[in-house]
């Protein structure tokens, strides 16, 4: 996909993009990351609408910051104080935003909500997370972080740790890695948090080889990127199932003692008790940098989709 | 059908004979066809007939009704091996095999409570695409989850 071909594209899943597309995005994001304040106000005539039906700190604010850095205006739907509370359907809500803006960023607890929004809207839709399914911009910024900090994505060994069943960031990262040539990819989780059938089937179709392990310690000495996920308490159909796995894994300084030299720890955040605060002081702790890269990556995404730099 | 099978119920002059329905599924097929017997249509149901291909099978004869292509496609959802004979003047006018449709709109419901097609069902039609005919598997367009033939039968039956 050339730069021009990004224009007007819906961004629903990282699966919809090729390696070349992603590399185009990462290259542009790199320019913005070097100096975000000096970015040309390429989107000064655009309005970006954010519609977050689930809590968010990083995705919502970094999309807003990215839009503002590029000179766009941002309008925000607050489901708590909008007609959503009166029972307005998602489709009608999106129709309104479609009339008021030039691009919609949506997060919703239902899988497929962003796809539905894209079917209703005439303007591009970016999926800011739909249930446990996709979170493409998170995967893009995760890949950007790896490239930026490790110099490459290919050939590295990855361990995705924790709730791979419900964490859309984990599934999206794995889909993203399938576009590249990683070394080994280990999935490390309690049995009940292993990938859902449809994720496992998709990975098989994509040809991404993974192995399923119970303990990070078994492979930590050989892993370059440790990608940790929070247990997605809000997505468990049965609270008792959450109670069974709560606290079943935790990364601490001592658990990283045998980690490979030069390896990094990533986390889409927010963290709960799976990531000890004492890890923050280690050179491998890269999750705060990762969160900050959300702005340049989303600047690149908005700029490419809205065709800012081509004007 | 063999001569022995046809002995069980008389031949129909005009209508449809549906053969090779899995044993026990004939009532589900009738429901899928909108229960024509409730509209005064003569229906003959032969259950648990010996079959060399299937072990046991059910057969339906529906007098005076010719199944449309769309109905035959839907039939494939619960009776994927079914063969459909359209009868006129006691002769087989046309044979149709049940072929599962590539796309199903508003026919099946997603099994995931968190799928947008379930949560927003008043404003969204479910859409399923065929993944595999044998075994029968459909995939929800919105959440990517699969429905198996057994789950589809349970919904439609």
The complex's ipTM works out to: 0.90
Q: Nearest CB to B119: which of A110, A115, A198?
A: A110
Can you tell me the distance from the alpha carbon of A177 to that of A173, in angstroms, rounded to the nearest whole number?
A: 6
Looking at the DSSP bridge assignments, the partners of residue A159 are: A186, A226
| Nearest chain B alpha carbon to A197 | B145
The CATH number given to whatever domain includes residue A240 is: 3.40.50.1370
Q: What is the band of A309 on the pLDDT scale with cuts at 50, 70, 90?
A: low
Do A183 and A69 have their domain in common? no
Which pLDDT belongs to residue A83?
78
Q: How far is A86 from chain B (nearest CA, A)?
A: 14
- How many domains would you assign to chain A? 2
* pLDDT tens digits, one per residue of A9-21: 999 999 999 999 9
Distance spanning both ends of chain B, measured CA to CA: 25
Q: Which residues are within 8 A (CB) of A264 and not within 5 positions of it... i.e. 6 or more apart?
A: A145, A146, A149, A150, A224, A225, A226, A284, A285, A286
Q: Per-residue pLDDT for A1 more than 80?
A: no
Selected catalytic residue, list A24, A58, A134, A147: A58
Among the listed residues A60, A69, A107, A168, the single catalytic one is A107
Helix, strand and coil in chain B, % to nearest 5: 25, 35, 40
Strands, E, within chain A: which ranges? 47-52, 73-77, 103-108, 125-130, 158-161, 185-188, 211-213, 225-228, 264-267
Q: Is A41 a catalytic residue?
A: no
Same domain assignment for residues A99 and A15? yes
3-class SS of residue B157: coil
Domain B3-97 has what CATH class? alpha beta
Per-residue pLDDT band at A31 (split at 50, 70, 90): very high
As a whole number, the mean pLDDT across chain A is 94
Give contacts of B117 with chain A, Cβ < 8 Å: 112
Q: How many CB pairs under 8 A join A and B?
A: 60
A107 is catalytic: yes
- Closest A-chain CA to B142: A112
Listed residue (A166, A110, A112, A202) closest to B127, CA to CA = A112
Which SS3 state, helix, strand or coil, does residue B53 take? coil
* B143/A202 CB distance under 8 A: no
A227-254: pLDDT as tens digits: 999 988 888 888 888 888 888 889 999 9
Instruction: Domain of residue A55: give its range.
Output: 3-134+293-310
Check: CATH 3.20.140.10 for B103-156? no
Output DSSP code: residue A232: -
Contact A80, A99 (CB under 8 A): no
| The pair of three-digit structure tokens given for residue B91, joined into one six-digit string | 């002769």
Is A311 among the residues known to form the active site? no
According to DSSP H, which parts of A70-196 are helical?
90-100, 113-120, 136-150, 168-177
CB atoms within 10 A of CB A191: 9
Which of A69, A108, A135, A298 is catalytic? The answer is A135
Helical H segments across chain B, by residue range: 3-8, 26-32, 69-78, 116-119, 149-156
Let me know whether A243 and A142 are in one domain.
yes
Q: How far is CA A236 from CA A43, A178, A280, A300, B113, in A?
A: 40, 27, 29, 34, 12
> Does the annotation mark A134 as catalytic?
no
Residue of A nearest to B117 (CA): A112
- By Cβ distance, the residue of B123, B124, B143 closest to A111 is B143
Q: Do A115 and B144 touch (CB under 8 A)?
A: no
- The CATH 2.30.30.20 portion of chain B extends over 103-156
Distance from CA of B153 to the nearest CA of A (A): 20
Average pLDDT on B99-115 reads 94
Task: Assess whether A172 and A280 both reside in one domain.
Answer: yes
pLDDT recorded at residue B117: 97
Q: How confident is the model at residue A159 (pLDDT cuts 50, 70, 90)?
A: very high
Model pTM?
0.90
Each residue of A214-226: pLDDT tens digit?
Answer: 999 999 999 999 9
Please give the Cα distance from A107 to A55 (Å, whole number): 9
Structure tokens at A26: 């990462």
> Chain B contacts of A115, Cβ < 8 Å?
116, 141-142
More confident residue, A129 or B155: A129
Q: Give ranges for CATH 3.30.70.140 in chain B.
A: 3-97
% residues pLDDT > 90 (chain B):
71
| Banded pLDDT at B7 (limits 50, 70, 90) | low
Shared domain check, A145 and A52 = no
Query: Does A126 share its domain with A149?
Result: no
The number of helix segments (H) and strand segments (E) in chain A equals 11, 9
Among candidate residues A9, A59, A145, A202, the one labeled active-site is A59
Give contacts of A201 with chain B, Cβ < 8 Å. 146
Q: Is A86 a known active-site residue?
A: yes
Nearest to A133 among B113, B143, B146 (CB): B143
Task: List CB contacts (< 8 A) between B118 and chain A.
Answer: 110
Residue B108: per-residue pLDDT: 94
Write down the mean pLDDT value for chain B: 90
Residue percentage of chain A with pLDDT more than 90: 84
Nearest chain A Cα distance for residue B70, angstroms: 26
pLDDT band for position B13 (cuts 50, 70, 90): very high
Compute the distance between CA of residue A233 and CA of residue B132 in angstroms, rounded to an integer.
Answer: 34
Of A110, A198, A237, the CB nearest to B116: A110
Distance of alpha carbon A105 from alpha carbon A51, whole angstroms: 6
| Strand A264-267 relative to strand A225-228, pairing | parallel
């Amino acid at each position: 996909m050339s730069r021009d071909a990004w224009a007007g594209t819906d961004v629903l899943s990282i699966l919809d993009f090729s390696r070349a597309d992603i590399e185009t995005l990462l290259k542009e994001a790199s320019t913005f990351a070097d100096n975000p304040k000096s970015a040309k106000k390429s989107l000064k005539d655009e309005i970006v609408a954010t519609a977050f039906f689930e809590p968010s700190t990083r995705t919502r604010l970094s999309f807003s910051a990215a839009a503002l850095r590029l000179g766009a205006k941002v309008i925000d739907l607050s489901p708590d104080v909008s007609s959503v509370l009166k029972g307005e359907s998602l489709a009608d809500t999106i129709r309104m935003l479609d009339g008021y803006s030039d691009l919609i960023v949506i997060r919703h607890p239902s899988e497929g909500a962003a796809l539905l929004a894209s079917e209703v809207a005439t303007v591009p839709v970016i999926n800011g997370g739909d249930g446990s399914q996709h979170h493409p911009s998170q995967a893009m910024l995760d890949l950007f972080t790896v490239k930026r900090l490790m110099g490459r994505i290919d050939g590295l060994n990855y361990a995705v740790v924790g709730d791979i069943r419900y964490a859309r960031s984990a599934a999206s990262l794995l889909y993203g890695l399938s576009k590249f040539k990683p070394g080994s990819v280990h999935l490390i989780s309690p049995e009940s948090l292993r990938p859902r059938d449809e994720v496992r089937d998709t990975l098989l179709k994509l040809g991404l080889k993974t192995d399923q392990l119970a303990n990070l310690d078994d492979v930590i000495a050989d892993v370059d990127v440790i990608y940790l996920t929070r247990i997605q308490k809000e997505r468990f159909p049965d609270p008792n199932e959450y109670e069974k796995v709560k606290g079943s894994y935790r990364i601490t300084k001592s658990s990283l003692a045998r980690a490979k030299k030069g390896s990094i720890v990533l986390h889409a955040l927010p963290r709960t008790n799976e990531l000890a605060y004492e890890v923050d002081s280690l050179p491998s702790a890269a999750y705060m940098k990762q969160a900050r890269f959300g702005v340049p990556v989303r600047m690149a995404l908005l700029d490419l989709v809205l065709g800012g730099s081509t004007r | 059908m063999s001569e022995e099978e046809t002995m069980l119920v008389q031949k129909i002059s005009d209508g449809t004979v549906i053969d090779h329905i899995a044993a026990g599924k004939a009532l589900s097929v009738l429901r899928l066809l909108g229960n024509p017997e409730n509209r005064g249509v003569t229906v003959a149901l032969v259950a648990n007939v010996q079959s060399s291909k299937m072990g046991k099978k059910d057969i339906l004869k529906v007098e005076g009704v010719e199944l449309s292509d769309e109905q035959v496609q839907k039939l494939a959802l619960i009776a994927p091996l079914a063969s459909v004979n359209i009868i006129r003047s006691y002769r087989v006018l046309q044979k149709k095999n049940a072929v599962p449709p590539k796309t199903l709109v508003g026919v099946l419901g997603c099994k995931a409570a968190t799928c947008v097609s379930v949560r927003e069902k008043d404003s969204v039609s479910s859409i399923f695409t065929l993944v595999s005919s044998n075994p029968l598997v459909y995939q929800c367009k919105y959440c990517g989850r699969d429905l198996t033939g057994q789950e589809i039968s349970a919904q439609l039956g």
